[in-house]
Structure 1
């Protein structure tokens, strides 16, 4: 089919039946960039200014705009896309409305598919704890398949903000503190969402977020400002976004924070110089929810009109749930304050995204025909439980296991206690998309299913999640509710103690509710909230072996709990199959292999806490701490370091062997160790490679992750693990923002976490 015929097919007077015929006959579009550009240019010539501006509006399905009004606006050509609808008949009706608009430009439908659609996988911090790119790929692929089957074309994910302050509630959405690990996951998840082609019916467009630096908000307080040097931006915080874009991400969501006083939404340097000029991004940019209007509160726009002007000139293509473009752009263009070219630039990217998603070829690509709609959109057969269980158990991190308390035996009496033990809602974590609590296995039910009739379970709530009334009132304004048992707290603790006294072992499921680790849920402290800590003390006093299972979306300060518990398991929020996956680990049907993607501080006073910090002129020395950079009340070291995680077996790492110890710019250096399973059972661990540039033109981190491998070893098995380094691995941004490697000495470290390493040196000539 030639371009003119195709153009006529798409933007002529076609009906829904013609679109449906196009879908079934498989008519395709020319795949070349030249054809795409010609098609969009021809289409834009036929569009009025109002129709162009309409394409820049991304509207939320919800109370902000009732459904009849949305359909009316779509038919009038005044909406380009919507988000928050996963109901096929609803999406089909909106696409039908687009088919009745003058130019018949198809709609797209977006959703926050962060860690699953109907099948909920572990939260992003849990996924990062796997250090397993195959597991993360499966998560992204299943999420895309399920989302596409719900008529979703685009996801606002992956969220790749580097996070080093655990007070920030959105820590749960990201992949942790390390630039290298987050960048690897960013690219992996992007490719998984988008598949081999974004025009495939089971692929969705990835919109990487939040651009940029959102995880560095001051005080860990959501929406706060960010002040950061250009070197640190380039070195630590920007690479994960770049990794997603290099992997082909079709979109970028712009952050809500300001950067050095300039809001991201009006930041032309960020959106044009960095994103498009330096990185070569060719996709669509999306404002965050209501962010254009917020330029007024930021103090850079005096009114709505100026806010719209600043955003479009900065390079914001799509206005998310904000009336700014629709109300203000027509007159801004008429007055000459905004040029038609600036509007056209944005429209071109929106139409280009629709082309890339395959919607011009088939507007119903992911919606399908009504006759194929599932009879029950929440049907069990739409879930991918096996994949969810496998990924979830890989996400669990074993923090402590004194005297081999774990794995438990499926016998005797087990007390399962805690406010989160029977919470299926909390097991899903934040941003759980279309997941349902009733289809989610909680911790108690998972344990019960694992033991069957081999062991007796006793249960007690033990305490509420929190007794802070201010926190309860605040959090209950969100969609999720914190259920409060009205009984006196001491009565609940006493009941739990009685249950524990009947048992051979106590499993206490404690931590945070899922809406404590969420957008707009920043904390001033990092301890386990409420009377849960009193509950833990009381359970310890029974003398029974105590296993703490943590459910939380951020690193917690667990100093006392680490002293009291015989074993401690970080489970995060594990998703649909969470209870079963947790039971697999607790009873040894799966040997835990997770490693921490964020440092766990001893107390909130240590944050921001991260392993790859710069040294000082007086670095902390544990055996000589006077007049060094330290805190005097407690050790300055973390409670659990980045990359940490135990197993039911033990591993040894040999000294490092280097292929060469003097490296030219053209050389490849191979570093090798022998890793041995010295324990009694098979297990998997993550071998981690770190580097330090000893003396450079700018202070460099004490160590930086540069590679890792996950290896499975049988009991007694030994394996050689090798890493290859090139000059590229030694490069950094110098004070002039030049990305280069400098000659000199490097320390090379290999180990099983960021502190437990073997070390050697080499030189770059």
Structure 2
């Protein structure tokens, strides 16, 4: 039986130049006036068409009325759910639960595939260390190792097998590369970093996606090493298609090939098309420069058709891998079966539960359901914000708000908005204070609306918007316990909020089961288990602030005269209603060869009457190297379940390659030497040990 690439090669021999170029062209939403282009084989893909009837109609034209009957590939951004919205990706990452994250991705793609979407512009695997950048909400945080593991999980979920035995969709690792390193946290901005930082920090999640079999990549808007990504031969041809032997295809981000003109790399649309083709961008998203100019470029230089052939082979191979030639149409009845079905909605709740991070608890939580509650703040009855950025087909009518969940639980509570989420007016504050004065406890909802994070939603200040802090200050004067729920799409600078709150939870934008998950955590039906994947700064002046920073020549000196250098909350931090005790870190052997594995056990004891989950984190430091290395790096983790008063001995086995690095000549090496090791509940706590690579 012929392989996908063999089938693609046979088909390529039958194609005209126009038909080849057509496979490299992606248009936007399906329009009636583009049907003739489909018949002529001049369009290979559409995006953001989420109507199964329309998708089937245009697919039928491609399959029955075009000369070669090549199916269309329909793509869309399914970032954290389709109709059933899951927590935003940075929140999901805080679960550190790879199985759950994979399942979330599979459920999301199952829904989307029912509308004919067979290509997902996700996962976003950009490392992000600047919370001013709005798209930090879409990724897995600041750590390359954790980011790589989550990238693999999401690729597995999006590309899981459907009922027909083929992948539900082609996943797309984006944005290649270093998009999260934009200067000043300003979306689309320039990126200035060394190749060493690029390879050490920003490339690992993308390499992990390739290793997991991701079918496509998306180039980014930014420049890298002073060349725009969509014209960057180094990143696309040398690294991705060369070193990594990636056999899928690359699509540009929205019109980013044409935008190399604005970068000053090309002087017109024709030269921008040439730059994109030569650099290795296989498909043009929406700008039309390939559609309009590739043919004239080939007429002038016949050798360019070899590059076109390579791109088309890659695209056709993926269409064969997806089974689109055998199964081009989508059953219109499938939608009723999978959209918002019981299993998927339950999965949104499971994911939301483990995404919540308990940041402070002065022996206040969990609450008793007998207490009289004041639910105050702009997000208590807001069904829109929990959907988060990139909500796809998520509908606020499906959202369970905190108010709704309180009602469902039969709680004794009153509710007041207190202030708007962004407007600085304070007229509503006194009403909220008066209402809260008669209650036992205050649950205060603060944070960001869903449209304050995501693409091009960057912030210069990360404080609570509007009059939210004034509301907190007024309520604090009542001398009643305050539990703050932080609805956030990024780390925020909230030191006063932490100080004035008796308990604080990062509840992010959790999707349609938001209110239910929050309520279960507040009242102890579920024990919080999330831990941060991004550092929370005290002030924007500390940014960039991340745990795995380099060592310096004068580490004992303070960095600022007006603020200490410590974050508000560290990477890996998160509290539980349980109390976990770490003990007895035992190495199988501490002197290792380069082909060995670092093997050890650690005892963890749940010293409480409450069942719980603990994320056991393993960090190391290379004590001597040819280049400066981080003070600490995550190299393994395990999320384990514990019964009350249960002792578990957890085993770890880490390949020695995990401790390698890039030398000054950009060679990946595993060097002899001594290493420090820590095992504990966060990046700043743990039992220490050492090992040696001989």
Under a length normalisation based on structure 2, what TM-score does the superposition of the two structures give? 0.97
**Which range moved further: 305-314 or 667-676?**
667-676
After superposition, give the CA deviation of every residue in 1:281-304 in whole Å (9 maximum; x if it has no partner): 000110000101101101100011
Match for residue 513 of structure 1 among 446, 449, 472 = 449
1:598 is matched with which residue? Answer: 534
Find out whether 1:348 has 2:305 as its counterpart. Answer: no
**Which range moved further: 336-345 or 680-689?**
336-345
SS in 1 for 2:653: strand
After superposition, give the CA deviation of every residue in 1:690-715 in whole Å (9 maximum; x if it has no partner): 00001111111101000011112222
TM-superposed deviation, 1:379: 6.3
1:238 is matched with which residue? Answer: 203
Give matches, 1:316-395, under 5 Å. Answer: 316-336=281-301, 339-364=304-329, 367-368=330-331, 370=332, 372=333, 374=335, 380-381=340-341, 384-395=344-355
Find out whether 1:581 has 2:501 as its counterpart. Answer: no
Match for residue 39 of structure 2 among 71, 75, 84 = 75
2:25 is matched with which residue? Answer: 57
SS in 1 for 2:427: helix
SS in 2 for 1:205: coil
TM-superposed deviation, 1:466: 1.2
1:407 is matched with which residue? Answer: 366
Distance 1:294 1:218 in 2: 18
TM-superposed deviation, 1:383: 7.0
TM-superposed deviation, 1:199: 6.7
Distance 1:709 1:377 in 2: 35
Match for residue 557 of structure 1 among 493, 500, 509 = 493
Check the 8 A contact 1:209/1:253 in 2, yes or no.
Answer: yes
Q: 1:335 to 1:199 in 2, by over 3 A?
A: farther
**Which range moved further: 354-363 or 683-692?**
354-363
SS in 2 for 1:685: strand
1:40 is matched with which residue? Answer: 8
SS in 1 for 2:445: strand
Distance 2:632 2:626 in 1: 16
Check the 8 A contact 2:400/2:516 in 1, yes or no.
Answer: yes
2:379 is matched with which residue? Answer: 420
TM-superposed deviation, 1:672: 2.2
1:144 is matched with which residue? Answer: 109
After superposition, give the CA deviation of every residue in 1:431-454 in whole Å (9 maximum; x if it has no partner): 11111110111122122212x1xx
SS in 2 for 1:400: strand
After superposition, give the CA deviation of every residue in 1:35-63 in whole Å (9 maximum; x if it has no partner): x33322232222221121111111111xx
SS in 1 for 2:563: coil
1:24 is matched with which residue? Answer: none
Check the 8 A contact 2:127/2:180 in 1, yes or no.
Answer: yes
Distance 1:533 1:355 in 2: 55
TM-superposed deviation, 1:202: 6.3
SS in 2 for 1:39: helix
Give matches, 1:287-686, under 5 Å. Answer: 287-336=252-301, 339-364=304-329, 367-368=330-331, 370=332, 372=333, 374=335, 380-381=340-341, 384-402=344-362, 404-450=363-409, 452=410, 455-467=411-423, 489-619=425-555, 621=556, 628-686=557-615
SS in 2 for 1:384: helix
Match for residue 697 of structure 1 among 623, 626, 630 = 626
Distance 1:332 1:199 in 2: 41
1:736 is matched with which residue? Answer: 665
The gaps in structure 2 that reach 5 residues or longer are none
Distance 2:430 2:57 in 1: 56
Under a length normalisation based on structure 1, what TM-score does the superposition of the two structures give? 0.88
Check the 8 A contact 1:655/1:759 in 2, yes or no.
Answer: no
After superposition, give the CA deviation of every residue in 1:428-485 in whole Å (9 maximum; x if it has no partner): 11111111110111122122212x1xx32211111111137xxxxxxxxxxxxxxxxx
Q: 1:565 to 1:172 in 2, by over 3 A?
A: same
Check the 8 A contact 2:594/2:657 in 1, yes or no.
Answer: no
After superposition, give the CA deviation of every residue in 1:302-344 in whole Å (9 maximum; x if it has no partner): 0111100100111111100111011111111111176211221
Check the 8 A contact 1:149/1:202 in 2, yes or no.
Answer: no
TM-superposed deviation, 1:663: 2.1
Check the 8 A contact 1:108/1:154 in 2, yes or no.
Answer: yes
Distance 1:519 1:106 in 2: 31
1:189 is matched with which residue? Answer: 154
TM-superposed deviation, 1:224: 0.5
SS in 2 for 1:752: strand
Distance 2:544 2:584 in 1: 32
Check the 8 A contact 1:309/1:337 in 2, yes or no.
Answer: no
Distance 2:6 2:675 in 1: 52
TM-superposed deviation, 1:71: 2.1
Distance 1:37 1:115 in 2: 31
TM-superposed deviation, 1:197: 7.5
**Which range moved further: 339-348 or 653-662?**
653-662
TM-superposed deviation, 1:134: 1.2
TM-superposed deviation, 1:666: 3.5
SS in 2 for 1:359: coil
Distance 2:449 2:338 in 1: 24
Match for residue 90 of structure 1 among 9, 30, 54 = 54
Distance 1:491 1:573 in 2: 27
TM-superposed deviation, 1:141: 1.4
SS in 1 for 2:532: coil
After superposition, give the CA deviation of every residue in 1:86-125 in whole Å (9 maximum; x if it has no partner): 2110101110121212222111111111111121111001
Distance 1:201 1:428 in 2: 30
After superposition, give the CA deviation of every residue in 1:155-206 in whole Å (9 maximum; x if it has no partner): 0111000000000000000000001101001011101111258973561111
Match for residue 214 of structure 1 among 150, 155, 179 = 179
TM-superposed deviation, 1:524: 0.4
Q: 1:632 to 1:655 in 2, by over 3 A?
A: farther
TM-superposed deviation, 1:73: 2.2
Find out whether 1:130 has 2:68 as its counterpart. Answer: no
The gaps in structure 1 that reach 5 residues or longer are 1-29, 469-488, 622-627
Check the 8 A contact 1:309/1:338 in 2, yes or no.
Answer: no
What is the Cα-based RMSD across aligned positions, in Å?
Answer: 1.7
Check the 8 A contact 2:551/2:628 in 1, yes or no.
Answer: yes
After superposition, give the CA deviation of every residue in 1:380-433 in whole Å (9 maximum; x if it has no partner): 54772111101110100000001x211111123211111111111110111111
Distance 1:659 1:328 in 2: 62
Q: 1:557 to 1:83 in 2, by over 3 A?
A: same
Find out whether 1:755 has 2:684 as its counterpart. Answer: yes
Match for residue 66 of structure 2 among 90, 93, 101 = 101
Distance 2:368 2:528 in 1: 16
